Amino acid sequence: MWAGKKGAGAHGRFVTLSFTGLATASRALAVARSGSMRVTTVGGSTEAIHIAAGVPFPIRVTRVWATGATGIVALW
């Protein structure tokens, strides 16, 4: 599932609602409370996704927009 030696995330950073973009693209997102969110992928598309709590969701994103999820952590 996770290619390379780094796995889902050797590093992590909380994403806040006022956050405009990630300095480093994520390898995955994790949330404390399930919910839907809008993200911009490394390919440049903006998508609506739903993430379940407690399970890293493998997606490479550069920005997290409005969200219904809480406790969002970007892993890289």
pLDDT along the chain (76 residues), means of 10: 58 78 91 93 96 94 87 92
Q: What is the pTM (predicted TM-score) of this model?
A: 0.82
Task: Give me the DSSP letters along 16-76.
Answer: -TT----SS--SEEE-SB-EEEEEEETTS-EEEEEE-TTS-B---EEEEEEES-BS-EEE-
pLDDT the model gives residue 68:
83
